[in-house]
Structure formats: structure tokens, C-alpha cells
Amino acid sequence: MHPWLHFKTITRHKLLVMHYCFRAGMYKQGLLHDLSKYAPVEFLVGCKYYQGDRSPNNAEREDTGISKSWLHHKGRNKHHFEYWIDYGVGDGRDGQEPHRGICGMKMPIRYVAEMYVDRVSASKNYQRDKFRTDSPLQYYLKGRKYYILNEDTRAMLELLLVMLAVKGENEVNHFLKYEVLKGKVPYEKEYLINLRKNLEKDSAYHLEEEQ
């Protein structure tokens, strides 16, 4: 059991998220972010499976075949895309293709912004001095083909991660606060992919479109 080390890790992460949420004007989300990690069902698992360089939820899965901590967490934190997985209604609403199976719902834009901040903060928390601006993108790409994400939500997240890799934190922070969260950027797949492709020109990053 490593209660103090786990407490320091999750609190450092929370402080990082608060810092970036506040910079984007998301004060309430910054304050409320990941509070469920301090609940016994999550905190005790984190103490038992503390890793230091990755989520203890992965170690719990490896040990028991399931992470009850993660199941509790994702159902209470709207910045995780897994919170928004549901059955499709199959009528093509919101311009999406009809889908009757399990699929990702379109996340409210403020939670997409928090999801981006969460991913950046997690990379910084675990990688420390090894963090690079493309670290969150590289981590995302490792699991990209497995993620169940709404098409518009995926396009927005990928735009933000590529923008971070190419232009850096200050550029993304300004873009989030003054354009994305102000509703000045269409939250639509085609528009966002075009923005991302323009960023990718003359860079080392070129995401392939999923079929």
C-alpha cells in the first residue's frame, strides 16, 4: 500500500488540471475535476496498485481482470469520452450516420476541452522532465483505433492534440479560451479535420483518416 505516494500523484494531477482549466476560464470544472478519486472505492485501489509512472487502474486490470475503480470513475466524470458511450438511436440525428449499436455520443464542448486538459496533465504528471509537446498525441495514437468516440468529438480532440504538438501550449490555451469555448469554431468533423490538416503541413504529424 502506498497511500501517501498515491495521494501526491492524484493531487499533483488535479493541480495541473486546475491550472490549465483556470487559464481557459473553466473555473468550476477545474475545481471539481476528478474529486471521485478521493472516494474510498477509487482511492484505496490506487493505494494498493500504485505505479508512479502509469495509472493504477491498469495494474488492477492485470491483477483481477477488471478495474472497479475505473468503472466507478468513468461513470462520474464527464470529461471522459467513455462516460458518453451509449446505444445509438438509429435516426441519423445531429447529422451522424444512423447507428443502432454502441457508439459515442457528441460530448458538450466544455468537456472536450477538459478531456484535452486532462490528457496533457496526465502526461506531464507521469513523464515529468521527459514530457514533450507531442507526448499526449503519441499516447492517444497508441489506442486511437480502439476508442469509441463520436466523429465530431474525435475531430476536435485530435485537432487540439496536433495543435499542441505543432504550436505549443500557449497557442492551444488561447485557441480554447477565445475561440473554441466562445463558440467561434464549428464543432463539426469536416471543418475540424481541415484545420488539423493545415496544421500538419510541413510537420512530422500526419494522422490517417479512419475508415
Cut 0.85: pTM above it:
yes
CA distances to 39, 49, 58, 152 from 4, rounded to whole Å, are 15, 13, 19, 40
- In the numeric block, which cell numbers belong to residue 199? 496544421
Bridge partners for 85 per DSSP: 104
What is residue 98's predicted lDDT score, i.e. its pLDDT?
67
| DSSP per residue, 172-210 | HHHHIIIIITTT-S---HHHHHHHHHHHHTTSS--PPPP
Counts of helices then strands in the chain (DSSP H, E): 10, 2
21 in Cβ contact with 27 (< 8 Å): yes
38, 32, 31: which is closest to 6 by C-alpha? 38
pLDDT band per the 50, 70, 90 thresholds, residue 60: very high
What is residue 54's predicted lDDT score, i.e. its pLDDT?
86
**Is the per-residue pLDDT at 102 higher than 70?**
yes
pLDDT band per the 50, 70, 90 thresholds, residue 88: confident
